Amino acid sequence: MGTADLTLFYAYSWMTRDRGAVRRLIDPGAEIEWNLDAPVDDEELVQTLHRIAAFADSISIASTTCADDRAALVYDCTAPFGSVRIAEFLAVADGRITEVRQVYDVVALRRFFPGLLED
């Protein structure tokens, strides 16, 4: 599976709440970073994406760009109270995601997805 196919499969997996597929795609040693307050590892990433997908009324991919082993995605997430945009940057090697960098609109996330980031 090439970078573009793997990237879209990953995106649609978390958007449809398929945690198992997301876990299989992320390499166990993947570097994961985001701009949320909490530290992140692959399990916390999967749980947060699952919570977003469960809470959102809709999620769509606004933009996808793939070049070699890198991909960038921008998502629009609509909740009952408003919309949030998420940007995600991935690196792929040997059919697995080896790097995930996520940038959230944190103010909108906390406003429109209340309680989402709470344990």
pLDDT at 98: 97
Summarised one tens digit per residue, pLDDT across range 6-59 is 999 999 999 999 999 999 999 999 999 999 877 789 998 999 899 889 989 999
Burial of 23 (0-12, 13-18, 19+ CB in 10 A): middle
More confident residue, 96 or 114: 96
Backbone phi, psi, residue 82, to 5°: 160, -170
Summarised one tens digit per residue, pLDDT across range 62-113 is 999 999 999 999 999 998 888 889 999 999 999 999 999 999 988 888 887 7
Neighbour tally for 48: CB within 10 Å: 20
**Chain-centre distance for alpha carbon 34:** 10
- pTM score: 0.89
86: nearest Cα among 26, 55, 69: 55
pLDDT at 17: 96
